[in-house]
Amino acid sequence: MLKERILVIGASGQIGVELTLALRKIYGNANVIASDLREQNPLLQGTGPYVSLDVMNKEMLHVQVIRQGITQIYLLAAILSATGEKNPNLAWNLNMQGLLNVLDIAREEKLHKVYWPSSIAVFGPTSPKIDCPQQTIIEPTTVYGISKYAGEFWCNYYFHRFGVDVRSIRYPGLISYKSAPGGGTTDYAVEIFHDALADKHYDCFLKENTYLPMMYMPDAIKATISLMEAPAKDITIRTSYNVGALSFSPKELAECIQQHIPDFTIAYLPDYRQSIADSWPSSINDAVARKDWNWSPEYTLESMTQEMLENLQK
Ligand code: NAD
Ligand code: SER
């Protein structure tokens, strides 16, 4: 077993729960400390240590890092795109200051590695819509996208200036059954499964032909761990890696669900999240991640849909 002490910040969130459980399998339960502002997610209870922590409180964070003998931090605390548009100041403050607090402490305590996710939200209306490349025009229009793009450059800066081994992925919209999404534009692709099983109907907040890059959570966990375990010499991108998996529209997802629930219906009632979705690409080119650390996704729209329905039914 590898000798690392890992702090996951934002462990009760959509990614945090599954990433904490996956890291505990690799590094041992006692060596992965889950932390969050809110209470521990029930799925984490009894699986390892938990501390209540606010990433904005740098002193307390620093104390925990020293007290727990932390060698790696996974920073997942953030305000996502839809919630960010409702409170831009809060999103900017948390997404920026939280990252800077972690990067500073990583530098001072000479942590081995830091993980911080960016998002496809860095791309804007002027970026290519299809097969959006790693390096291209990037002019985000949401506060979330602006904070992620600025964060990418802080990561790059701390790596080159101070040698902090910080790594990052631009996640697409993530689909999971274990934990609920936390206020993003891609949340429809999780809500639809819950409503299909409960009511056989879903009111979708995006238009039927809105194609977005998406990924099933097991692929996101695999990507994160593959990137973090890759030798440092292979990491050529110190801002954030594009990773691709699926690209589908609400209509296509609904049709796939109808293969399993034939009387499922969907209505389209687009709201303010439509313009956020319209500003993002519909698919991502991840050639650099494939080359640098052998990234490749496993799930298709069909296999993801089947697993989501089976697991939520349980
Ligand atoms: P989430 O909202 O589900 O979870 C975030 C967690 O952070 C929550 O449990 C919240 O309580 C916690 N948190 C908030 N403020 C905090 C603070 N001050 N101190 C400590 N904890 C705090 O988010 P998620 O979907 O799990 O996203 C995790 C990361 O991945 C974020 O950086 C997000 O931008 C990024 N990301 C997510 C997706 C997605 O589809 N879920 C896509 C792209 C990028
Ligand atoms: N799923 C995220 C969101 O919609 C993308 O970063 O905000």
CB atoms within 10 A of CB 68: 16
What 3-state DSSP class applies to 87? coil
Q: Which residue shows structure tokens 């305590």?
A: 109
Rounded CA separation 39/41 (Å): 6
String of b and e for 47-61 (b: at least 16 CB within 10 Å)?
Answer: bbebbebbbeebeeb
Q: Provide the annotated active-site residues.
A: 144
Of the listed ligands, the closest to the CA of 170 is 1
CA distances in angstroms from 258 to 44, 68, 179, 208, listed in the order given: 33, 49, 23, 15
Q: Which residues of 225-244 are buried (b: 16+ CB within 10 A; e: fewer)?
A: bbbbebeeeebebbbbbbbb
**113-132 as b/e, with b when 16 or more CB fall inside 10 Å?**
bbbbbbbbbbbbeebeeeeb
Nearest to 219 by CA among 307, 152, 314: 307
**Residues within a 6 A CB radius of ligand 2:** 80-81, 119, 121, 144, 173, 184-186
Query: Which atom of ligand 2 is nearest the CA belonging to 186?
Result: 4
What distance in angstroms lies between residue 185's CA and the mean position of ligand 1's atoms? 13
Ligand 2 centre from 39 Cα, in Å? Answer: 23
Composition of the chain by helix, strand, coil, percent to 5: 45, 15, 40
Question: Which CA distances in Å does 163 have to 154, 155, 156?
Answer: 12, 10, 10
Cα of 95 to ligand 2 centre, how many Å? 13
Q: Whose CA is nearest to atom 3 of ligand 2?
A: 184
Query: Which of 9, 12, 80, 246 maximizes ligand 1 atoms within 8 Å of its Cβ, making it the mutation to test the pocket?
Result: 80
The angle at the Cα of 115, spanning 282 to 104, to the nearest 5 degrees, equals 125
pLDDT at 3: 86
DSSP letters spanning 234-285: G---SS-EE---EEE-HHHHHHHHHTTSTT-EEEE---THHHHHHTS-SSB-
Q: Which atom of ligand 2 is nearest to the CA of 81?
A: 7
Output the six-digit token pair for 59: 């002193």
Residue with tokens 């110190």: 238
- 43, 48, 7: which is closest to 24 by C-alpha? 48
Domain residue spans in the chain? 6-171, 174-214+245-313
Contacts of 49 (CB under 8 A, 6+ apart): 30, 32, 33, 34, 68
Helix, strand or coil, per DSSP, at residue 216: strand
Looking at domain 174-214+245-313, its CATH class is: alpha beta
Domain spanning 6-171, CATH class: alpha beta
pLDDT of amino acid 2: 53
Atom number in ligand 2 closest to CA 144: 7
Full pLDDT tens readout for the chain, 314 residues? 558 999 999 999 999 999 999 999 999 999 999 999 999 999 999 999 999 999 999 999 999 999 999 999 999 999 999 999 999 999 999 999 999 999 999 999 999 999 999 999 999 999 999 999 999 999 999 999 999 999 999 999 999 999 999 999 999 999 999 999 999 999 999 999 999 999 999 999 999 999 999 999 999 999 999 999 999 999 999 999 999 999 999 999 999 999 999 999 999 999 999 999 999 999 999 999 999 999 999 999 999 999 999 999 99
- Work out the angle between the directed axes of helices 88-108 and 58-67 (0-180°, nearest 10): 40
- Nearest 5°: the CA angle 133, 243, 97 is 95
Q: What is the pTM of this model?
A: 0.98
How far does the centroid of ligand 2 lie from the alpha carbon of residue 183, in Å? 8
